[in-house]
Amino acid sequence: MILNVYKEKNMTSRDVVNILNKYFNIKKIGHTGTLDPIATGVLVCLIGNDTKLVNIITANKKEYIATMKLGVKTDTLDITGNIIEKKDYKVDKEKIVKVLNSFLGESMQEVPKYSAIKINGKKLYEYARENINIQLPKRTINIYDIELLEYNDDTIKFRVIVSKGTYIRSLINDIANKLNTVAVMSDLIRTKQGIFTIEESNKINDILNGNYKEVSYEKVFSNYEKIDLSDEDYFKVKNGSIMPINFNNDEVIYTYKRKYIAIYEKINNEAKIKLMFN
């Protein structure tokens, strides 16, 4: 089962999974990208055998509406942390737009110290809580689109579309640096992840009342090329056999009698299995 869940404020992503564990009476549940407790919006949850789709869905672009508060910086880079710096600021709309646009494209981003990224088997936030300084890793991110929505006194609100692994807290910190000040993330809404939108997300109370809508494979994989298998090829695919490349794109979904069987991908001029559906 694939569920587009609306994560509410002051809940962790793990809290949502725990609620679903209890309601569906199943332990095998995953999600496709952690949201901070102060954040709201789209949290795609995969239940049972569909957890194998985590990597595919996680790879999708994400859209956020972020709000940043100028002039103050915290240890967590969001409004919930301890203040570590205050700084004056002098900005205008033109300068903000110019700085936002400067982040378009590929760049390196430093992971925030309060994150679950592991270094030597230990999570970064564990080092931070123990006041142990450690060199923070950097990763390549991509900003596909960014747009100023509002600017009012000490508050900037913007919309942004990013690649997986992008930390909006870190992006806000970098934006503030280019504005020659400091800032924190004061609010965050994930409005979209791939085909999953906030408008179609299920509220947790609705789910608990049995009033929810699953997301179909047809919708999730609407952009994939699909080929229906003959009886002979069906048994080959079910056994994970290498297949001839008879498709146009890098990946294909093989179906059989209207059922999803497997995803194959092109590797060295051969079609090899990437994922087997149940």
Domain boundaries, given as residue ranges, for the chain: 2-60+195-216, 65-185, 224-276
Tens of pLDDT along 141-192? Answer: 999 999 999 999 999 999 999 999 899 999 999 999 999 999 999 999 999 9
DSSP 165-183: T--HHHHHHHHHHHTTS-E
Q: Right CATH number for 65-185 from 1.10.40.30, 3.40.50.720, 3.40.980.10, 3.30.2350.10? A: 3.30.2350.10
Q: Which of the following is catalytic: 36, 50, 174, 233?
A: 36
> What pLDDT digit, counting tens, does each position of 202-216 carry?
999 999 999 999 999
Burial of residue 65, with CB atoms counted within 10 A of its CB: 0-12 exposed, 13-18 middle, 19 or more buried? buried
Rounded Cα distance between 253 and 261, Å, is 7
Report helix, strand or coil for 37.
coil
36 flagged as catalytic: yes
> Please, what sign has the CA dihedral across residues 187, 163, 95, 86?
positive
Exposure class string for 247-262: b at 16+ Cβ within 10 A, else e: beeebbbbbbeeebbb
> Do 2 and 44 touch, CB atoms closer than 8 A?
yes
Residue 82 buriedness (CB in 10 A; 0-12 / 13-18 / 19+): exposed
- Averages of pLDDT over runs of 10 residues in the chain (278 residues) are 96 95 94 92 96 88 97 95 95 97 95 81 82 85 98 96 94 97 98 96 96 95 94 95 92 95 94 92
pLDDT of residue 58: 86
CA atoms within 13 A on the CB side of 65: 10
270: which strand partners?
267
3-state secondary structure of 277: coil
Same CATH topology for 2-60+195-216 and 224-276?
no
Q: How far apart are alpha carbons 86 and 75 in whole angstroms?
A: 12
Looking at domain 2-60+195-216, its CATH class is alpha beta
Please tell me the predicted confidence (pLDDT) of residue 133: 82
Q: How far is CA 56 from CA 164, 177, 220, 278, in A?
A: 11, 34, 10, 16
Q: Phi first, then psi: what are they for 225, rounded to 5°?
A: -70, 140
Neighbours of 43 (CB within 10 A): 27
> What local confidence, expressed as pLDDT, does residue 99 receive?
98
pLDDT of amino acid 181 = 97
**Structure confidence at residue 124 (pLDDT):** 84
* Domain 224-276, CATH class in plain words: mainly beta
Distance CA 255, CA 257 (A): 7
